[in-house]
Amino acid sequence: MPVNIQPALVARNLYFHFGKQPVIRQVSLELYPGEVLAIVGESGSGKSTLLNLFYGTLSPTQGAIQASTPDLGLRPVSALSRQTLRHLQRTAWGFVCQNPRDALRMEISAGGNIVERRMIMGLRHYGQLREEALYWLQKVEVDPTRLDDLPETFSGGMLQRLQIARTLISQPALLYLDEPTSGLDVSVQAALLDLLRKLVIAENMAVVLVTHDLAVARLLAQRIAVMRQGEIIEEGLADQVLDDPQHPYTQLLVSSVLPA
C-alpha cells in the first residue's frame, strides 16, 4: 500500500441486488493514482455491474464508495447531487465503453467529439479547442487530417481511439475501462493496448479495467481481482495471480485461457 498517498477510489463492503437477486456481494478494495486494477472473470460474474457502481451509474444496495474529486479529495459517491455527479462523470472521471458508438456523437466531427469535455469545463476559444483536438488525435495515433471527418467514416479500432481521446482530454483522475479491446482484430488490439499503457503511465491515472481476457489484464494491470458470482475471490499482483493462482476457480480460469 502506498505511504502518504490518498487513494483515488475506496469501496467498502459493497452489495448490489437486482430485485431479490444479489449481483455484487461483499466487495471491498482500494485504488491509487498511477495504478491499474483489472477485474477479471467469466461473463455474468458481476464485473461490469461493479464498474457502474464505481462510476455512479448504479447505486449500491449496501456499502460505501468514495471517489476522487478535483477540489475536495475523496467524497462519498452516494452523497453527491445528481448535478455534481454528472459534472464529475464528464470531467474528472472517465469511462471508455466496450462499444465506442455508445459514447461518441456520430453526427458531429471527430474534433467536435474530442473537445466536448473541454467545453463543459468552460473552454470556448475556437482556435484553442481545435489545437487541443489536433493534439489528442496525434496522441492516440490518428491522422490529424481526420479532424473534421465524421465518426461514421472511422474503423472500429479508430473509433475506440477517438473515444479514448474524447475521454482523456480532460485528464481524468479516475478512468474506467469496460472491455476496451473486445471485438477488435488481434493486431488492432495489440496496438490499442500499447497505446493505453503509454497514456495511463503518462497521465498517472487510477484505472479500473474490466476484461474477460487475461492477456489484456497481464499487459495493462499491476493488480488483478478475480470475480465469481458477484464476489472477489482472489486479489493480488498481476503476475502473482496469473502465475501462481491460489483459488481453485482462478486456477481453472488461468489454465483454460493461458497457454502452459
Q: In this structure, are 74 and 179 located in the same domain?
A: yes
Q: What is the pLDDT of residues 113-162, one digit of tens each?
A: 999 999 999 988 999 999 999 999 999 999 999 999 999 999 999 999 99
Q: Is the pLDDT score of 3 beyond 70?
A: no
Q: In this structure, are 190 and 75 located in the same domain?
A: yes
How many folded domains does the chain comprise?
2
Tell me if 41 is assigned to some domain: yes
CB 150 within 8 A of CB 110: yes
Q: In this structure, are 147 and 124 located in the same domain?
A: yes
Q: In this structure, are 22 and 73 located in the same domain?
A: yes
162: number of CA atoms within 13 Å, CB side? 31
Q: In this structure, are 241 and 258 located in the same domain?
A: yes
Q: In this structure, are 79 and 202 located in the same domain?
A: yes
Q: In this structure, are 187 and 76 located in the same domain?
A: yes
Tell me if 43 is assigned to some domain: yes
CB 238 within 8 A of CB 39: no
Backbone angles phi, psi at 33, to 5 degrees: -55, 140
Which residue range(s) make up the domain with 138?
103-171
Q: What is the pLDDT of residues 206-241, one digit of tens each?
A: 999 999 889 899 999 999 999 999 999 999 999 999
CA dist 147 and 133 (Å) reads 7
| Residue 43: CATH number of its domain | 3.40.50.300
Q: In this structure, are 124 and 244 located in the same domain?
A: no
Q: In this structure, are 149 and 194 located in the same domain?
A: no
Q: State the sign of the Cα–Cα–Cα–Cα dihedral 61, 85, 35, 178.
A: positive
**DSSP conformation class of 37:** E
13: number of CA atoms within 13 Å, CB side? 2
Picking from 171, 199, 218, the residue at the C-terminal end of a domain is: 171
CB 260 within 8 A of CB 251: no
Picking from 171, 195, 220, the residue at the C-terminal end of a domain is: 171
Tell me if 98 is assigned to some domain: no
Backbone angles phi, psi at 206, to 5 degrees: -95, 125
Q: In this structure, are 88 and 193 located in the same domain?
A: yes
Backbone angles phi, psi at 161, to 5 degrees: -65, -40
Picking from 137, 171, 205, the residue at the C-terminal end of a domain is: 171
DSSP letters along 62-127, please?
Answer: EEEEEEEETTTEEEEGGGS-HHHHHHHHTTTEEEE-SSGGGTS-TTS-HHHHHHHHHHHTT---HH
In this prediction, residue 260 carries a pLDDT of 43
Tell me if 97 is assigned to some domain: no
CA dist 65 and 43 (Å) reads 24
DSSP letters along 125-177, please?
Answer: -HHHHHHHHHHHHHHTT--GGGTTS-GGGS-HHHHHHHHHHHHHTT--SEEEE
* pTM (predicted TM-score): 0.92
Confidence of residue 15 (pLDDT cuts 50, 70, 90): very high
Q: What is the pLDDT of residues 100-113, one digit of tens each?
A: 999 999 999 999 99
Q: What are the angstrom distances between the C-alpha of 158 and each of 137, 184, 188?
A: 10, 10, 9
- The helix, strand and coil proportions of the chain, stated in percent and rounded to the nearest 5, come to 40, 25, 35
What is the average pLDDT score of the chain?
A: 92
